[in-house]
Chains A and B, each alone.
Chain A
Amino acid sequence: MQFDPNDSELGRRLDQLAGQASSASVSPELQKKLQDALGPSLVPVNPIPSRTNLSLLFLVVFVIGAGGLAALMKRTGLHLMSRVQIGAMASILAACGTVLAAELAGEMIPGGRRMAPLWAKWAVCGISGFLGLAVLFPWQSSGNFVAEGWPCALMEVTFALPAAGFFWLLARQGALLMSPAVGATLAGVAVVLALIPLQSQCMFQQAPHLLVWHGTAALLLIGLGAAAGNLRRVRE
C-alpha cells in the first residue's frame, strides 16, 4: 500500500524487503509439533453468541442489577431531584452503561470491528458525567462534607464490587485478552450500575458531594479495574 506518491522508492524498498521476509517458512517438524500438541485436546466447541446478543445480555444484567438495587432502597434522591436532573442523569448513565456493555461484549470476541477508539468512548462518558453533575446540580455543600460523603463512597464500592465480579464471570465465557483497558471497562460497567441506585437514594444532591464522593469512588474503582486487568495479564 502506497500512502505517498513521492515515496515510491521507499515503498519499493519496503515491499522488496517484506517480500523477501515473506519467504521465511515454518519447518515441517514445528508444524508436526503444533499439530501433535493441539490434536489430543480437540473437542467440539459451541461458537460464542454474537456481539449484539452478548451486549443485550450485559444490558439485561445491568438493568436488573441497577433497577433491583434502586427498588430495594429508599428513593430520597429521586424526590430531591428535578425532572430535568432525573432525565439528564438517567440518560447519561444509561448511555454510558450501554456503551461500556457493548465494549465489554466486543472484548470477548477478538478481532471485532471498532466504530470508535476506546479512549473516545471513555472521554465521552467521563465528560458527559462530569458536565451533567457540574451544570445541573447546585454548587453548595450542606453540613459536614466528609461525614456525609464517605458512606456514599462506601456504598458505591459495596454495590460495584459484586457487580464487577458478576460481569467478570459472564465476560470470561469469551476470549478475554486481559489488559488494563479490559479491566477498566469491566469496572466501568459495574460502576455505572452502582451509580444508578446510589444517585436515586442519595440525600445530598449537590455538585461538590456528587463529584467528590460519587465521582472519586468511581474513578478509584475504574483504576482498580485497570490494575486488576494488568495483574491478570502478567499472571497469564
Chain B
Amino acid sequence: MGDRQIDDLELRTLMTQYQSADPAALNELVRRVSPSLLRYFRASRFGRNDAEDLLQDSWMKIHRSRHSYRSSEPVMPWIYAIARHTRLDAYRKQRRMAEREVLVAAVPEPPQQRSSRTATDDFGEMVSQLPESQREVLVMLKVSEMSLEEIARATASTAGAVKQKARRAYAALRRAWNRDSRNAIRP
C-alpha cells in the first residue's frame, strides 16, 4: 500500500470522525488539508491575503457540506470540488468588480520587487498564459499533486478529458518555452 493510499485512508477516518463531531479530527483535518488548499489558491493567481480568505471560505463551505461526504469515496476530490467552486466564485466576483470599476487616472504601476515574489507566483506566472481549464488541471496536477482520477472527480469531469487538457497545457507551455528561448538567443 503506497503513502498516498495510507494518507487517503487516514483522511477518510478523520472525515468520518469529523462527521461525528470529534473536535480533534477537525483540528487534524484543518492542519493536514489547509496547506494544500492554500497552495492551490496561491497558484491560481490569488495574492496571499485573497488566498487566505478563500481558504477560510472553503472551510466554511466544507463545514456546511460535511454531511455530503461518504466514507466510501476519496476525501481530497470532495474537498477540492468545494474549493474549486469557491475559487470560481471568487474569479467571477473579481471580474464583476473589475467591470464596475471606473478608471479615474492612469497611474503608472510601481516596478515589482523581485525579492517579494515567491515560487508560487512564478508557477502561477508560467501557467498564466494557459486557458483557465488547462491551467486548473496543471495546478492540481503539479501543485496539489493530485492524480488524473482525483482531478476528474474534483472538476466533475472524466479522467480522459483531464488527460487531454493536461496534454494541451504541456503543448502550449512547450511552444511558449521555445518562443522565449529563441527570443533570449536573438541579439
Q: What residues make up the interface of A, taking CB atoms closer than 8 Å to B?
A: 1, 3-4, 7, 9-11, 13-15, 17-18, 20-26, 30-31, 33-35, 37-39, 41-48, 50, 108-118, 174-175, 177, 179, 233-234, 236
Contact = CB atoms under 8 A, between A and B. Distances in A.
Contacts of A115: 158
> What is the interface residue range for chain B against chain A?
35 or more
Contacts of B152: 113-114
Nearest to A234: B92
Contact of A109 (B73, B85, B177): B73
A10 B126 CA distance: 11
A233 B65 CA distance: 16
Given A3-B167, A7-B170, A111-B74, A31 B34 contact: yes
Interface string B126-170: 100000000000100111010011001110111001010011001
* Chain B, interface SS category: helix
Given A21-B42, A43-B21, A4 B67 contact: no
A122 B167 CA distance: 26
A24 B20 CA distance: 31
A48 B71 CA distance: 10
A50 B73 CA distance: 10
B142 A15 contact: yes
A41 B69 CA distance: 17
Contacts of A15: 142
Most chain A CB inside 10 Å of its own CB: which residue of B26, B34, B68, B145: B68
Interface in B59-116: 59-60, 63-74, 76-82, 85, 89, 92
